[in-house]
Structure 1
């Protein structure tokens, strides 16, 4: 290997694993509870802060109490004034930012992994606002190689740091680890095990990286979100008038071509995709997104080359 083309990066000394940002996404909730039971036994390969992001929502087994916590971490939201009458999640976001950040600062945790579930058939996704985070991309590559039973994908929401709204954006490096399909309010053992394996593989990679292992570069497919598609709605009542078409349901990250079925109206009419280019749907029929007016998201896929990396302690 040509060591002149190796990128040396700072060690990842402070890691946070968060669950329960949405209180009814139970794989992350139970994984955090299990980790908290044994966090003092010294078996972890790296030092990790483990915490429950939204304990009130977890206690009630709801997505949120007053407002979506995972939309409270833009720079504007974090700097807005709060009072005792502010929504609980707005106040909690300040606490998390103080504990794990502040966002964008040198004091922020080196890597923040926020655990989520989706009702959509996504497999395991690492979702981030950055498409050139070599640490996150190498972790994705590692998971893809090691997790033979679960598809692993890297999903990019193209947002500047100030506008990134999710908890993971507080860390210097960060991503949501989204695993599905799993209905909200329950836990499926296979989905829990996939998340548990993903977290352990992430920590193993960080330990090897911090120990000086040189990781070869290569290629990773990135799915960049292009737009959201709402359900067809009645123009007067705004109630939905169709469901996701059976030919599209559960086909997350399968290429959708113009003219292919997208919705089936409640009167029996097939409504087709009218876009001009083939794109990759994901979060298809996600239960929590009905309130947000999102039936599915569409992404464009591209393959990127990532450099070889090692920790800068080996310079």
Structure 2
């Protein structure tokens, strides 16, 4: 069977600081800028510190979450005096790296994130993009770190994160790392993932055919909130110690998920699913204690660069 052909991946953006307190991506981008990394082989690289104001304040964001500002609707909304800073910044980034959905858009956007959850190295993407799946498989074959893929099942028009602006793209999510903190092991895990991505792109551009195959992916199924006081809305329980730090471990019906402040255990009800982003610090405000996913096998075809 003929491989699926794609245009060369010659323009790539590496973005850090979309959340201003997620330090691995910030320092990877700053180091690339310091070393004046603008081209690696056949790949021209644009480095971006996405949210400068949040970065200066070492906060996730200033007015609204920048990583929720890249839907088609928000990018086409008019800018007014009351438009939040992050939405203005999303319009600037869309002009610089996109426009989203256009031929002028970056061939690939890699957006670098940290999580306080114990997720190791994860790639997060929207559609089942053959290029992203090949990079994922390549990473798995080249690193001793466990690598996982999470698919958020929604059309690109509704995709809300910065990586959706490119023709291809994904987020690299690495943890556990506290906000505002830099850990060498987490930094190195992310740096290796960026290096392997660029290595794959160069091999692809040089004319190598990558054989198809099969990988495991986690498909988002639903989000679970903390138990809350019906009157005040305040949380009444914490993540149960048996669930804490056990991202991607199968959660069965009857397994403990919360421990109430009065000492009672709340158990999981329903389908056996895989938790991730367990006790993510930034998700308290979004009323999410953790996400649940189904694990599936994804088959993808061979790919090669289009011949002139």
Determine whether 1:236 maps to 2:231: yes
Counting only pairs closer than 5 Å after superposition, residues 44-123 of structure 1 correspond to structure 2 as 46-123=43-120
Determine whether 1:27 maps to 2:49: no
The residue that corresponds to 1:257 in the other structure is: 252
Displacement of 1:162: 1.1
What's the TM-score, normalizing by structure 2? 0.98
Paired residue secondary structure (1:263): strand
What's the TM-score, normalizing by structure 1? 0.95
Displacement of 1:83: 2.0
Going from structure 1 to structure 2, the CA distance change for 1:6 and 1:173 (only over 3 Å counts) comes to same
Displacement of 1:85: 3.2
Going from structure 1 to structure 2, the CA distance change for 1:65 and 1:9 (only over 3 Å counts) comes to same
Paired residue secondary structure (2:269): coil
The residue that corresponds to 2:131 in the other structure is: 135
Counting only pairs closer than 5 Å after superposition, residues 164-203 of structure 1 correspond to structure 2 as 164-203=159-198
Displacement of 1:6: 1.6
Going from structure 1 to structure 2, the CA distance change for 1:216 and 1:290 (only over 3 Å counts) comes to same
Displacement of 1:217: 1.3
Paired residue secondary structure (1:59): helix
The residue that corresponds to 2:285 in the other structure is: 291
Q: Which of 121, 126, 129 is 2:123 aligned to?
A: 126
Paired residue secondary structure (1:47): strand
Paired residue secondary structure (1:5): coil
Which consecutive unaligned segments of at least 5 residues does structure 1 have? none
Determine whether 1:246 maps to 2:241: yes
Q: Distance in 1 between matches of 2:162 and 2:63?
A: 17
Contact 2:37 2:45 in 1 (8 A): no
Counting only pairs closer than 5 Å after superposition, residues 143-182 of structure 1 correspond to structure 2 as 143-148=139-144, 150-182=145-177
Going from structure 1 to structure 2, the CA distance change for 1:42 and 1:226 (only over 3 Å counts) comes to closer
The residue that corresponds to 1:302 in the other structure is: 296
Displacement of 1:135: 0.4
Contact 2:42 2:205 in 1 (8 A): no
Displacement of 1:39: 2.4
Paired residue secondary structure (2:254): coil
Q: How many residues align?
A: 308
Contact 1:45 1:204 in 2 (8 A): no
Displacement of 1:151: 1.3
Going from structure 1 to structure 2, the CA distance change for 1:175 and 1:153 (only over 3 Å counts) comes to same
Paired residue secondary structure (2:86): helix
The residue that corresponds to 1:37 in the other structure is: 34
Contact 2:41 2:202 in 1 (8 A): no
Q: Distance in 1 between matches of 2:113 and 2:54?
A: 14
Paired residue secondary structure (1:313): coil
Displacement of 1:5: 3.4
Which consecutive unaligned segments of at least 5 residues does structure 2 have? none
Q: Distance in 1 between matches of 2:140 and 2:188?
A: 16
Displacement of 1:43: 5.1
Give the CA RMSD over aligned residues.
Answer: 1.2
Moved over 2 A (4+): 39-45
